[in-house]
Amino acid sequence: MLRLLKRLTINQNKTYDINETVIEIQKGNDYLENELIEQYIPFIRKTTARVCKRYINTSEDDEYSIALIAFNEAIHQYSPDKGSSFLSFASLVIRRRVIDFIRQEQRRKIPLSIDYTDDDNENMENVAEIHASFNDYYQKLESEYRREEILHLKEVLKSFKITLSDVAQQCPKHQDARENMVGIAKTVVEHEQLREKLMSKKRLPIKELTNHIRMSRKTIERNRKYIIAVAVVLMEDYRYLKDYLKEWLA
């Protein structure tokens, strides 16, 4: 009965308890690590199934093994200072690792040979169709994963009381202005004190920033939400979102 009551308590405060548990594990509590992984096997399997679009057999599917390793990786890489929940972060890591595995497996299984004769044309066309089908599938995966990254970004920005609509409204219309704001965001990310103050205080350290850049406080304040959003994207491991926004982040 006591064990059941403990589980009910954990479920009621899941978001807060799991973040605290992860921090304890990072301090070296191996017992808690094994317990946490065991408890979240359904979450790991469900996240993997969403990527693979099929039922996942935990004893047979390689994708599940990859996801399990990714979940463990997320435990040791998670930082609550970045503003997102552990499960949100773990979902990103699992999906990224499983997608990478799928891509590698497909490349290994369907090699295209450059040495073939006319008699092989039909087979080569079949292989090309398979490649085209996989490329289409992978593009859909990338699109879905980018959407997952955007949801994660929304969660992080929420801790700054910023929405994506706020960011869109503050996005400078001219390229040179955008480049200037991206430059400010990079300055924040590159200087440890600025970066830590941004994440701990959940606000842009404008006063300190003026010691590193030549721009008026008024201009910085007017673009504050946009600068914070770019800084968050630069700090987080948003592989697909960064590629999507590479023209802004260059």
Helices 224-235 and 175-190: crossing angle in degrees, nearest 10, is 60
Q: What is the pLDDT of residue 5?
A: 32
- Rounded to the nearest 5°, which phi and psi values hold at 163? -110, 165
- Per domain, the residue ranges of the chain are 12-158, 164-249
Q: What is the pLDDT of residue 9?
A: 42
The string of DSSP letters for 143-198 reads: HHHHHHHHHHHHHHHHTTT--HHHHHHHS-SSHHHHHHHHHHHHHHHHSHHHHHHH
**pLDDT surpasses 50 at 244:** yes
Q: Per-residue pLDDT tens for 32-81?
A: 999 999 999 999 999 999 888 889 998 889 999 999 999 999 999 998 87
* Separation between Cα atoms, residue 17 and residue 33, nearest integer Å: 13
Q: What is the pLDDT of residue 3?
A: 38
**pLDDT surpasses 90 at 104:** no
Question: 182 or 129, which is more confident?
Answer: 182
Structure tokens at 221: 């304040």
* Separation between Cα atoms, residue 61 and residue 70, nearest integer Å: 15
Q: Per-residue pLDDT tens for 78-96?
A: 988 777 889 989 998 998 8
Q: What is the pLDDT of residue 13?
A: 45
Buried-state track 67-100, b at ≥16 Cβ within 10 A, e below 16:
bbebbbebbeebeeeebbbbbbbbbbbbbbbbbe
141-145, 154-158, 174-178: least confident range:
141-145
For the entire predicted model, the pTM comes to 0.64
* Proportion of the chain above pLDDT 70, given as a percent: 79
* Proportion of the chain above pLDDT 90, given as a percent: 42
- Can you tell me the mean pLDDT for 149-157? 89
